[in-house]
Amino acid sequence: MSKGIDIKQASVSTFDIKHRIGSIFPDSAVLDIQFNFVSISPNISEAIGYTSNELLSKHISILSITHNLIAMLEECLRYGSFEEQQFELRCHSGEIIRFGVSAIYMGLEADTNGLIVLRFKNQDEVNSINKKLIAKTAELDDFIYNSAHSIRGPLATLKGLINLAGVTRNTEENDFLFQQMNVFAGRLDEKLHQLICFAESDKMPEDVCEKLSIGYVFQALAKNIHEAIIDFPVHFSSSVLNQEETLENGGVVLSMLKNMALFFCQQPKAERNLLVLDAHFGSSATEIMMRSKGFVFSDTLIEKLRNVNFGYSEILKFPELVNYYAAKKIMYKLNGTVQFMHLASCEIVVLMTIPRDTKVLLF
């Protein structure tokens, strides 16, 4: 049985870890025995809106919205530590955020007498991530289900033809059966090729954080489009005046724009077609617009594109959506948005908004 600890009787530690807290105790704050802040990790400080200097030596009650916070912490720490408990804390802005807090009292046995380490977990962020994971899991389950049925059809037919060929002795019938096997084997190969193409369509470049000029991006896109076109050439231009403007996470953005450009270029098109890239570099976000004329989009495809939540299962029915969906997947990793617009002038516009100083998600 754990021996109880009366934390009020312990002496205050002089062990200074404020310059090492970020690496030693991430997502945590360190308090002395009187519940004054000794140190706090930068991400938690940022989450509650205080600087480290504003909290240093301040009592934790500065974050409290209830009078019994200290009593609750003392009760939870009676045995030296406690698993995650829910606390509502007041941020610098006055906003109330629910945190999951776990703690450990580091006493004499740890040779750091009198320190309390609180580990924080923003419950709102956890709930948001869980909702996204549930939605993605459901979407993946739907994709697997539809993929299995899409592949199972030609596979079942192929197996039936093989069984039939095993019992017939007629040469003409066998020739016909082998022709049909070849047809359905081709269909099966096509389905598998679509799946592989989709899985590889949004691969990240190795250097995800590099900055690229819009001029370089324009040249790379022009080359990519030229190499991909097999019918009418695409007239591609950029209306960005300052070609030296740089894009953060340039390699990732370029990968997204290549997919978006290929999506346009693989649609039926007239000889007088036009694909234009424009960009606006704001203080909080970069907006990139790709607009086209002379490209033919069916009503069904436009309806799918307007549905911002279309997912994996539609790719099997509409393979022409592969590159557009790959661009959306990359934009998700950039924490940005994609908006599709079909204007009355028959002009198609895709507006891509990327927040400044975004961290690329690599999962």
141 in a structural domain = no
Q: Which of 201, 183, 39, 17 minimizes the C-alpha distance to 110?
A: 17
The pLDDT value recorded for residue 107 is: 60
Q: Answer yes or no: do 109 and 231 share one domain.
A: no
How many residues make up the chain in this entry?
A: 363
What is the tens place of the pLDDT at every residue in 53-62? Answer: 888 888 888 8
pLDDT at residue 195, rounded to an integer: 66
pLDDT of residue 263: 86
Under 8 Å between Cβ of 315 and 329: no
Residues 218 and 77 in one domain: no
The reply to whether 210 and 334 lie within a common domain is yes
In a domain, 260, yes or no: yes
Whether 241 and 344 share a structural domain: yes
- Cβ atoms of 116 and 38 within 8 Å: the answer is no
Q: Tell whether 148 is covered by a domain.
A: no
pLDDT value for 290: 92
The answer to whether position 138 is within a domain reads no
Q: Tell me, yes or no, whether 115 and 206 share the same domain.
A: no
Regions of the chain with pLDDT less than 50: 1-3, 5, 7-15, 17-19, 22-23, 108-111, 206-207, 362-363
The CATH number assigned to the domain holding 88 equals 3.30.450.20
211 in the same domain as 350: yes
184: in domain: no
Q: Which domain holds residue 102?
A: 17-122
Check whether residue 60 and residue 208 sit in a common domain.
no
Show which of 91, 122, 153 is a domain's final residue: 122
Give the per-residue pLDDT at 289: 92
The whole-angstrom separation of Cα 347 and Cα 341 is: 8
DSSP states along 135-157: HHHHHHHHHHHHHHHHHHHHHHH
Q: How many domains does the chain have?
A: 2
Buried b (16+ CB within 10 A) or exposed e, 323-353: bbbbbbebbebbebebebeeeeeeebebebb
Distance, C-alpha 90 to centroid of its chain:
29
Per the domain annotation, does 168 fall within a domain? no
Note the Cα 318 to chain centre separation in Å.
23
pLDDT of residue 202: 52
Residue that is last in its domain, among 64, 99, 122: 122
Which distant-in-sequence residues (6+ apart) come within 8 Å of 3 by Cβ? none
Under DSSP, the state recorded for 35 is S
